[in-house]
Structure 1
Amino acid sequence: MSTPAVKLVSECFIKPQSPIEESNQICYLTPWDIAMLSMDYIQKGLLFKKPQSIENQQDFMNNLLGNLKQSLSLALVHFYPLAGRLVTQKTEDPPSYAVFVDCINSPGAGFIHATLDMTISDILFPVDVPPVVQSFFDHHKAVNHDGHTMPLLTIKVTELLDGVFIGCSMNHCVGDGTAYWNFFNTWSEIFQAKAQTGHDEFHSVPISHHPIHNRWFPPGCNRLINLPFRHHDEFIGRYESNKLRERIFHFSAESIAKLKAKANSESSSNKISSFQSLSAFVWRSLTRARNLPHDQRTICRMAVNNRTRMEPPLPHEYFGNSLHAVHAEAKAGEVLEKDLGWAAWKLHLAVANHGDAAVQKYVKEWLQSPVVYRFDMLVEANSVMMSSSPRFNMYGNEFGMGKAVAVRSGYANKSDGGVTAYPGREGGGSVDLEVCLLPETMAALESDEEFMSIASACNPLC
């Protein structure tokens, strides 16, 4: 029996509710932003139950869609670069390629309404995340450079038989995960403010965290950065992963606390964080599941936020990219024969050593020799990549339907060994990990007694 397909109902563009000031017409991109031109869009979304009190399904959806569009239009007043498009200025002699965001000359952000004849249980209860979830997002297999002709932000609202999925695709050149969830949280805050006041129109709704658009450039750096290329074919690549299994594993607050205590005890420390302990546990588990030769090199990477590591620090509301991937590496035999504390300490040192000096050094070297990262440059055999953060406020976004039942992601940025962290729905320090592996590796992980004694199947409806 074939799986039902997502059906397009309508699509349109959403502009900011009020005109963008002329001084904000251009958003210049920093080295961190430009380096992302060949990477994928960020694709994350929330699955909601339809309210049980619905009497008329059509009226409910019409009201929801209208309110989502209105609140999005107002959110874009604050996050105006998301309504723009990428623009390139080129010169031939010497060759240069400069990319920036035109925030005005654009039809706006995308908004799509679709339907799917499936239920919440059809999405959540298969062991693996069903492939149809990829259809809940726009920009399938797009890279950020495609933002020249595609929206920098698209919201796709997919109506299920008993639920609604709100999928958001955001160009990674415009912002990182912190910026992404700051936008998502603000959009929800505006939506909820209207629902609480009962006003029919959205006016000037106050928001808790105003985005800061004054992008960080090192001293003396030109705001319009020129890449030494004539054409984007010289630096754009499109990565196609092998066939992967994708599964969500749940880690309770209690199990993570035990991992942290174990890691710190074994390393005679009190500095290893909960997430470093969990990442080390995953690194060891995947190394074992892959059955690697003992002399095989293996790497664990962790995405870290530069904002708090700089001097002076950038504010949390800084809208743009400010992230880096730190890593620890070792022979597979070392990872397996030594204890959890040894692996966690290596990850702790990688994070602790990434301070202002390391950030400034990276930017200085990048300006001397600019690099546009392709996904295949970051994907290494036998590696683990821990991305996203359980600290992001995902379940605080309600859109009039109560707390979401689950977070899911699209096709983008996935590879063998890719692990995406979400907060557990019950909160309290629990974590859900979205793990992508080759089928044979996933089967070995599912048979790993140590891993499965700590992890559990994710049941968001409990």
Structure 2
Amino acid sequence: MKVKIESSKIVKPLHDDGMAPGGAAADEWVPLSVLDKVTYGEHVALIYAFRPPNPPNAALELGLARALAVYREWAGRIGVGPDGRRSVCLNDAGARFVEATVDAPLAVWPFGAPSPEARRLHPRIDAVEELVQVQLTRFSCGSLAVGFAGHHQIADGQATGNFFAAWGLATRGLPVYPVPVCDRGTRFAPRDPPLVEFPHRETEYKAAPASADHHADNADENEDGFFAAAPGKVKVHRMHLSKEFVARLKARASSGLPPPRRGYTTFQSVVAHLWRTITAARGLGAGVTTKVRISVNGRTRMRPPVPRDYFGNVVLWAFPRSDAGQLVARPVGHAAELIHRAVAAVDDAYFRSFVDFASSGVVEAEGLVPTADSDQTVLCPNLELDAWLGINFFDLDFGSGAPIYFMPTYYPMEGSLFLLPSVLGDGSMEAYVSLFDNHLDEFKKICHKIA
């Protein structure tokens, strides 16, 4: 199926007075926080689909313009501010707005099988200056696909979900809500005196590559010596975890806990199962260390808490790890406990320690770079998890109800794992798993077995 691009233009914020952007504030530079700068410096793309009837493109464009007037950082540009710091310029330069059509019904589009075709439903995300890009793709049946790509250093998942809710309200002619808290330039100040209690050089930051050719020279080998070329091509699989399967998995993980310990959470149980199953499918055994990179939202962990409506990044990572042989041999509750402990350790003290470290000047002095490295192509024996549970992504409603599809773009990095709530709204989940094709074949055989 061919996606035909009908138009591509820039949409600028439309302020309450209906006037074009302008004024002294248009040239304001807002420094990125240390939490913004340590995350991935690239666009992240998501795709929605809605059944008809849907409002016309002009209504969605107007709603976007109104939402951008409130979320001005999305309409700005990233650069180096007058003080030499990496910042976002609030210049109201606008977002990319693309209109497209498909001469076929939505039902024949391969939403159920993640594939490169997904990338045709959103604009290109490499080497673009717009911090937000939107593509509206109309199908012959009247269904609408909305492809959104936003720069990660401007907003994490929670902040992006808030923006989606605001865009939907603005499209329906309602007041934009929630109103974002935009104080990234001052919120995460270091303590005086600073107190660095944790090894951030080995966790969030690392030494810069020895040469510019590092990624090209090592594209087929990761730090643990596993080669991409050996097992075959990387494929992405969508695994549906039914409500009943999740309940049984959670019960199994928690079955060995002595009182008065509470049971493991759904998140801990599901991730533990996927970690063990993928490790087994990869054929990893004793003597190999495997770890999972898990995003941890600091909004409720920091003291005082960061407002839920804060616009920016408030994410660091937990790294549960285990010997691969022990991980597979021991019950799922063992893996759940490793995840529980690692995530719990990323608390207020850890976030404050990171802020003090990243604000100290040592990152610049030593030429350190973030470990959040999108140039990696192979993570085996490790995993990288993006969990979108608990984020209000389904609040995007243009007037015709909730989406019927929601998914990340096609992202074939071996070892990447996306975990999403199902659009069914019944407590089921969808896991998008990227593995070498022969490992994926084995994963499919065992992924629904609870051990």
Same fold by TM-score greater than 0.5:
yes
Q: Choose which of 308, 322, 330 in structure 1 pairs with 2:322.
A: 330
Q: Measure the CA separation in 2 of the matches of 1:12 and 1:363.
A: 39
Q: Choose which of 35, 38, 43 in structure 2 pairs with 1:35.
A: 38
Task: Report the residue type matching 1:207 in the other structure.
Answer: V
Q: Choose which of 129, 139, 150 in structure 1 pairs with 2:114.
A: 129
More off after superposition, 336-345 vs 364-373: 364-373
- Residues 265 and 334 of structure 1: CA distance in aligned 2, closer, same or farther (over 3 Å): same
- Residues 261 and 235 of structure 1: CA distance in aligned 2, closer, same or farther (over 3 Å): farther
Counterpart secondary structure, 2:407: strand
Structure 1 residue 235 displacement after superposition: 12
Task: Report the residue type matching 1:8 in the other structure.
Answer: I
Structure 1 residue 392 displacement after superposition: 1.6
Task: Report the residue type matching 1:11 in the other structure.
Answer: S
Q: Measure the CA separation in 1 of the matches of 2:104 and 2:434.
A: 24
Structure 1 residue 169 displacement after superposition: 0.5
Structure 1 residue 426 displacement after superposition: 2.0
Counterpart secondary structure, 2:85: strand
Match of residue 230 from structure 1? none
Q: Which runs of 5+ in 2 are unaligned?
A: 16-20, 193-210, 221-227
- 1:169-217: CA deviations, max 9, x gaps? 001111111111110111012223x3xxxxxxxxxx4233111001122
Match of residue 168 from structure 1? 148
Q: Measure the CA separation in 1 of the matches of 2:386 and 2:133.
A: 22
Q: Choose which of 4, 10, 21 in structure 2 pairs with 1:13.
A: 10
Matching of residues 50-199 of structure 1 within 5 Å: 50-51=52-53, 64-89=56-81, 98-104=85-91, 107-124=93-110, 128-140=113-125, 142=126, 146=127, 150-162=129-141, 163-192=143-172, 194=173
Match of residue 197 from structure 1? none
- Residues 453 and 70 of structure 1: CA distance in aligned 2, closer, same or farther (over 3 Å): same
Matching of residues 285-300 of structure 1 within 5 Å: 285-300=277-292
Asked if 1 retains the 8 angstrom alpha-carbon contact of 2:180 and 2:309, the reply is yes
Is structure 2 residue 393 aligned with structure 1 residue 394?
A: yes
Q: Measure the CA separation in 2 of the matches of 1:290 and 1:187.
A: 42
- 1:427-461: CA deviations, max 9, x gaps? 2432111111111111111122xx2257xxxxxxx
TM-score (norm 1): 0.80
Task: Report the residue type matching 1:137 in the other structure.
Answer: H
Q: Measure the CA separation in 1 of the matches of 2:397 and 2:175.
A: 17
Matching of residues 366-377 of structure 1 within 5 Å: 366-368=358-360, 369-370=362-363, 371-373=368-370, 374-376=373-375
Q: Measure the CA separation in 1 of the matches of 2:423 and 2:10.
A: 32
Is structure 2 residue 236 aligned with structure 1 residue 246?
A: yes
Task: Report the residue type matching 2:148 in the other structure.
Answer: C
**Percent of pairs identical after alignment?**
26
Structure 1 residue 237 displacement after superposition: 7.2
Structure 1 residue 49 displacement after superposition: 2.1
Structure 1 residue 271 displacement after superposition: 4.6
Counterpart secondary structure, 2:8: strand
Asked if 2 retains the 8 angstrom alpha-carbon contact of 1:33 and 1:174, the reply is yes
- Residues 380 and 267 of structure 1: CA distance in aligned 2, closer, same or farther (over 3 Å): farther
Residues paired across the two proteins, number: 403
Match of residue 433 from structure 1? 431
Structure 1 residue 332 displacement after superposition: 1.0
Asked if 2 retains the 8 angstrom alpha-carbon contact of 1:266 and 1:340, the reply is no
Structure 1 residue 220 displacement after superposition: 6.7
Task: Report the residue type matching 1:452 in the other structure.
Answer: H
- 1:41-100: CA deviations, max 9, x gaps? 11112012233xxxxxxxx7xx51100010001101110011011122589xxxxx5211
Q: Choose which of 249, 255, 269 in structure 2 pairs with 1:277.
A: 269
Structure 1 residue 295 displacement after superposition: 1.7
- Residues 357 and 289 of structure 1: CA distance in aligned 2, closer, same or farther (over 3 Å): same
Match of residue 224 from structure 2? none
- 1:278-308: CA deviations, max 9, x gaps? 0000001101111113221111221110111
TM-score (norm 2): 0.82
- When the two chains are superposed, the root-mean-square deviation of aligned CA atoms in Å is 2.8
- Residues 90 and 73 of structure 1: CA distance in aligned 2, closer, same or farther (over 3 Å): closer
Structure 1 residue 20 displacement after superposition: 6.4
Q: Measure the CA separation in 2 of the matches of 1:89 and 1:26.
A: 6
